[in-house]
Amino acid sequence: MSRKYFGTDGVRGRVGQHPITPEFVMKLGWAAGKVFAKQGRNNIIIGKDTRISGYMFEAALEAGIVAAGANVTMIGPMPTPAIAYLTQTFRAACGIVISASHNPYYDNGIKFFGGDGQKLPDDIELEIERMIDEPMTVVESAELGKAKRMNDAAGRYIEFCKSTFPNERSLEGLRIVLDCAHGATYQVAPAIFKELGAEVINTAIQPNGLNINDGVGQTSPEALQAAVLDHKADLGIAFDGDGDRVAFVDQQGQLLDGDELLYIIAMHQAKSQTVKGVVGTLMSNLGLELALQAQGIELVRAKVGDRYVNEQMKLHGYTLGGESSGHIICHDVMTTGDGIVAALKVLNAMCSSGQSLCDLRSGMKKAPMKMVNVKVVNRVDLDGHSEVQSSIARITERLAGKGRILLRPSGTEPVIRVMVEAQDADMVENSVMELADVVRNAVS
């Protein structure tokens, strides 16, 4: 099922370049309105992050959707998972998020959630794509959709997030530095952690449309690491631009990535026997797999991307999954990845155990990993390339079952990602450079 417009997470690109143009986005809204109208469901929720082009695309989507005869509810700047939650709560036909997540301000994208608060199934995406290629028509004036704004969206989502944290606990006594990336969490995250009792020091909460993810947030945690040390805080929490990813910084200024956060949540859930297994990705650190195995917990590896993590979680019936990037899905309380909900899960583990982040992470020893991006000039079948396969065989024998090799074409760049992971750092360095050289020769 090849797609013309949809990637693994909606439609994304540079603003002003096809398909991220006002004309295309209006047609996309019209196509979605038509598809859901056929199903007899005509209320569509639209949210966005804080990048300047969001206003333009919000208007374009509104025009297309109402022209198709569907109604629009606009909620303004809100985290991506908030749109998923509100779509499900209001029994809407779908939710649309205008966001390019952790990308710079000059990119943008359109992401969809179904009425169940999860990513759209393939058949619906393909039907929307088919409608995009149809001539755009406008329903009779009496049948045009209506548009309105939801004024209490932030309050609803704040209360939902707080409800995922146990009533018998509070964050009183914790000093937390929050980095909201000048993005979609800038209003709701400070309120949530403050209302749960924490002393909150806010950073990157002054969006101007151009500064989203600019040297701040989950993708640039250095400023947060310094702020935690400067303020003598217990920890720091950083979100990305649309709030579906999270990273932590401990009291010593050390960064915790998604693998370590998954481990902390899984260990806490294991105490109450509410975790059967965890879904990671091909990029999840070997240390996570070994630490979970030691506790009798299976790690299932999915392809990179939250869509594939979600698929494996459903397939295996697991409620916890995520990526090293900090995109963590807690299906026991939420339908999609949610940075704030995941953060509250980690904080619950801290509060219930009385341990610091340093203590909680100590049971997982990250294995050395190195990745080299090899630019692709000519497309080559590496599976059938004898020199590449011989190099893989030599390195596999050298690793002796105590490491991993991964060759993966990038989905966003013309490169092959060459990764080696093992418990010996020198072996990792030598092996990845050897294999990268062989791959480089093969594709040049």
Tokens for 204, please give them.
């990157």
Q: How many CA atoms lie within 13 A of 273 on its CB side?
A: 0
Angle of CA points 348, 350, 351, to nearest 5°: 65
- Go through 417-429 and write b for each residue having 16 or more CB atoms within 10 A of its CB, e for each that does not: bbbbbbbeeebbe
User: Mapping DSSP to helix (H, G, I), strand (E, B) and coil, where does residue 389 land?
Assistant: helix
Q: End-to-end CA distance of the chain, in Å?
A: 30
DSSP type of residue 382: G
DSSP string, 202-222: EES----SS-TTSS-STT-TH
Bridge pairing between strands 94-98 and 107-114: antiparallel
* Inter-residue contact 143 to 69 (CB < 8 Å): yes
The yes-or-no answer on residue 101 being catalytic is: yes
DSSP 8-state code for residue 58: H
Catalytic one among 53, 99, 101, 431? 101
Phi first, then psi, for residue 81 (nearest 5°) are -65, -25
Q: Distance between CA atoms of 421 and 365, rounded to whole angstroms?
A: 13
What is the C-alpha to C-alpha distance for residues 215 and 220, in angstroms, rounded to an integer?
A: 5
* 50 closest CA partner among 104, 4, 6, 119: 104
Q: How far apart are CA 158 and CA 340, in angstroms?
A: 10
What positions carry a catalytic annotation?
A: 101
